[in-house]
Structures are given as structure tokens and as C-alpha cells.
Structure 1
Amino acid sequence: MTTPEGKGTLEGKVAFVTGAGQGVGQGVAFALAREGASIAVTGRTEAKLVDTVDRIRAIGGTAEPILCDIADTARISAAIETTVEVFGGVDILVNNASLNPLGPLLGLTSELMAKAYASGPIAALHAMQAVYPIMKERGGGNIVNMVSSAAVRWDTSGYGGYASVKEALRSLTRTAASEWGPDNIRVNAVAPHALSPGLQWWTENRPEEAAEFVKSIPLRRIGDCEDDIGRAVAWIVSDGARYLTGATVPLDGGQARWS
């Protein structure tokens, strides 16, 4: 995607992407950078962040690694402040990183669920609150929250905790879109299927289950982190989607049935 002048559609924008050291977050960071955005590459593992930044710079993009543990709200605030110091502001927030509690309900402990909510909707809400005044002052912005189709699976067994965390984030997404629309801040959710490191491990270690999973996807493949997920996110936060807000965009090859 380029403008008539040959520039990227996100030229001059600054994006703060959590969990950008690998998987979906990294794919989104690559796609946004290709469209001209400067990227605050955030996460907990410095080596992974540096790798992502080096790869963005290799394609002519601008990026900085910023350590941030999203389970600690003070660190989220500090990371956003650093981004403003380095790049001058924040125009795009992508809440991607989270702890995903999987397993049957009887096996979900209070401690695990508390950590999942802290790193999921609570962390995302804090980041949203932190960027709101920055985006408002800049005349608007875009927030994308990574959610899941787990709550609308044909069988949610083993996915209840994970689904509850992601549904909480979907609710916050819709509310933020409603409350912040007058400030020209668009807020959307994306529910992806992508070949992240976790899904890659599952595919390699449980090939029969993975094969059946792929068969349930009408497009018969799992999405690529950059080409299928990242590029779609780049469109969602561009002016090409300027009338889209409060939506959940399923990037799952048509697998889930969203009502």
C-alpha cells in the first residue's frame, strides 16, 4: 500500500507494539514499518527486540527496542514515555502481548487467572489510558487489541479461561471506540490465526491435531504473521479504514462463526 506520491500509508506515524520480539507482534511491527511508521518495539526479552529492530532497519525502517513487562503497569507507562521522548508521540497502539491460560476449568487456578487478566485486559487498558491524551493532542490515533475467536469455537472445552480474558478485552475495545470516537481515536480488535512460535510448536509436536485444525479453516492454512495479520493491521490503522471502529476483525481464514 502506497500513497499516490509513492510514500507508505503510515509515513510520519509512530507505533507502540507490545510483544514485538516474535510472532504476531513482530509481524505487525514489520508490516507497519514497511508502510513508513516508526516502531517502538516492546517486550520482555532484549535479544528478541534487538533482532526485530535490526530486521526493520535492514528494510529501511525506523525502530527502537524498549524493554517492557506488560504485567507491570509502571513499566508500561515508562515505556510509553520513552517512546514519546524518542519519536515525539504515539499514533498507533497495538496491544498484542498477553498470558494465555489454557486448560479445563477445574485446572485454572486463581493465581494463573489473575496473571492472565493482569497481562491481558488490565495491561491493555492501562496502555490505552496512557496513550489517550497523547493521541488526543495529536488530533487522533488508532488502537488495535489482539483478541481471539476462542469464545465462538464450536467447542470451547479447554479454552474457557483464555476466552474470558480475550472477551474482556473485546468489551474494552468496543467501549473505548464509543467513548473516544469524538476525539478521532479509532479502536478495533483483531482475532488472528497465525503461525506464532506457540502454534509452530503445537504443529510440530501434535501434527495430527494440527492437521485437523487446518482442515477446519476454509482457506486451509494458518495465517502468516506479517503478510496475513500485519498487513491487515496496517490497513486498519490507515486512513483507508478511517470509518472502521469498535469492530472485531476476524483474521482466521473463515474458521470461526461470528454473530
Structure 2
Amino acid sequence: MTNDSTHDSTHSSTHGGTRDRARTAPVGLLSGKVVLITGASRGIGAAAARLFAAEGASVVLASRDTAALGRLAAGIRAEGGTADGVACDLGDPASVRAAVDRVDELHGRLDGAFNNGAAGQSPGPLDGTSDEDVDRMFAVNFRGQWTAMNREAALMRRGGGGAIVNTSSIGSRRANPVLPAYGAMKRALNSLAESAAVTWGPQGIRVNTITPGGTATEMIDAWEAATPGVVERIVATTPLGRMGAPEEVAQAAAWLLSDRASMVTGATLAVDGGAGA
């Protein structure tokens, strides 16, 4: 009788108790995943770093601002997360490749990549945009992403697949007369992601794009300073009646990187409060 009672108690604790815990324990959206985030030192990238780590990912943070990365990574580690920083200049292909290689050195694999870094353009019309502006938009907002995606995919391929999310812009989906070079490169990035999704899908690599609308970041602050009234105009043309928060954009990226979006690839997801509708 004693043995039977002990067995029944153990059986209940092991099976029923496990079911109860599984029902109530929080499950991180990105638990067990290694995720690289470019442009991670501020704005959407920094918000993504904190969110992805809270959702269980081991994050590697890349940016030119290594001091900011150090502070961000230390804060994540203080909360019990896993985070490392690496210097990365998206305008320098060798620097981009080295940043992805650092992920390999640290973790031996890559499950997700959030290619978020971007260079802003000085506001102005098409015929007032300098050759230097166009070259910089190409180098950072397109070629940098091209380089990152190829290196990331090579590392993901070794592990049997992964997911890539690129940050584009609402300005890539319509005329962008105030930021024409920025909008053009972001539109090219949308096309690149679609091509990559078709090319790498058979290898288990999903590629998607998010197009944020007006988001309260340092880039918008700079645009507002250069052209007062920008924020007011954005809010007025956004059905939800407000700017987005970086954390809200990061939430969309987290979902696309997660296994819950396992059938989503080649998509462009608007995160713009309805402004592009």
C-alpha cells in the first residue's frame, strides 16, 4: 500500500503537476534563439534588444556606438538576459561581415536577425539631393543590408534555417518627395527581401520586412528639428492619432522572428497605425 501510494503521488506530481506548470508558466516568444540586431544602440533597435532578451533570446547587438551598446548589454544582463555587443558600420561591408562572424564565435549559430540599422537623409526635394546623400543611402540602407543578409543566411544555413526581418519604412510604399533617396533605397530593400524569401525558403530561411510609420525615435527628432511641424503632420495623417513607440515596432519584429510566424515569409508588414491604408 505504501509503495502504491508513493507511486500514485509521484505519478500525479510528475504528470499532472507538469501539465499545470505548462499551462501557467510564461513561455518566451524567442526562448533559446540567438538573434543579431543591427542598429541596436538606439530607437527601434534598442527597444528590440530589450524585448528580444526578455522573450528569452540571446542577443548580439551591433552598432557603431559601442559605448551605448555596452550600457544596453549591461542593463540586459542585469535583468538576467544574455547580451553581447559588437562594433558594426553598415556602410563598411567588411565590418558587417565581421559582426556576423562574431555571432558565430560567441554562439556557433544564428537563429534570427533583425536588420534595423539605417542612415537618415537630410530632408529635401529630389533635385536638391546631393550625390553624396544618394551614395550614403545606398551604402547603408541597401548595400549594408544586402551584405548582412547574405552573411546571416550562410550562418543560418549551417544550423538548418532561421528568420530574417528587415526594417524598411512607410516611405518605401508610396511617393516620398521629402526623403526621395531614403525612400528609394528602402523600396529596393523590400524587393530584396522578397527575392531572398523565394531563394532561401527551400533552405528553411524566412525573410520578411516591416514598414514602420511615424515612430518616436531620434531620427524623427532630427527631422522635426530640420523641418518643424513634421510630427504634427504625421499624427494628423495616422488613423490611430499618435506616433508609434519603438517598442511597438519591436513587437512586430519579434513575432516575425518567432516560430509563431513559421508560415510567413516574403511579407511586408505595415506597423504604421493605419497611415499607409
The alignment's TM-score, normalised by the length of structure 2, stands at: 0.86
What is aligned with 1:58? 78
- Determine if the alignment matches structure 1 residue 236 to structure 2 residue 256: yes
After superposition, give the CA deviation of every residue in 1:83-126 in whole Å (9 maximum; x if it has no partner): 11112211111111121324211121222211211111111111
Cα separation, 2, equivalents of 1:110 and 1:203: 23
Which of 171, 196, 211 in structure 1 is aligned with 2:217? 196
- Measured in 1, the distance between the counterparts of 2:226 and 2:186 equals 26
2:99 maps to 1:82: no
C-alpha distance 52-3 of structure 1, shift in aligned 2 (>3 A): farther
Q: Percent identity over the alignment?
A: 36
CA-to-aligned-CA distance 1:27-85 (integer Å, 9 cap, x gap): 11111111111111110011111121122123221100101111111111111111111
Q: Deviations over 1:150-185 (max 9, x none)?
A: 1444x6321221110101100100000001111111
Q: Deviations over 1:9-31 (max 9, x none)?
A: 21111111111000011111111
Going from structure 1 to structure 2, the CA distance change for 1:143 and 1:233 (only over 3 Å counts) comes to: same
Q: Which structure's CA Rg is the greater one? A: 2
| 2:48 equivalent among 14, 24, 28 | 28
Matched, 1:168 2:188: yes
1:111 aligns with 2:126: no
Instruction: Name the structure 2 match of 1:181.
Output: 201
Which stretch of structure 1 is more off in the superposition, 132-141 or 16-25?
132-141
Report the CA distance between 1:127 and its aligned residue: 0.9
Q: Give the gaps of 5 or more residues in structure 1.
A: none
2:147 aligned residue: 126
8 Å contact 1:71–1:118 — kept in the other structure? yes
Which AA in structure 2 matches 1:246? G
In 1: Cα distance, 2:77 partner to 2:44 partner: 19
Q: Which has the higher helix share?
A: 2
Which of structures 1 and 2 has the larger relative contact order (alpha carbons within 8 angstroms, sep 6+)? 1
1:21 and 1:170 map into 2 onto residues whose CA distance is 23
1:145 aligns with 2:129: no
**Residue 98 of structure 1: SS of its match in structure 2?**
coil
With over 3 angstroms needed to count, the CA separation of the structure-2 counterparts of 1:107 and 1:238, relative to structure 1, is same
Number of aligned residues:
254
Rounded to whole Å, the distance in 2 between the matches of 1:3 and 1:250 is 32
Give distance in 1, aligned partners of 2:153 and 2:23: 27
The one-letter code of the counterpart of 1:23 is G
Secondary structure at the aligned position of 1:243 is classed as coil
Aligned-residue Cα RMSD (Å) equals: 1.9
Indicate if the aligned counterparts of 1:3 and 1:9 stay in contact, CA closer than 8 A. no
**Contact (CA 8 Å) 2:109, 2:158: kept in 1 or not?**
no
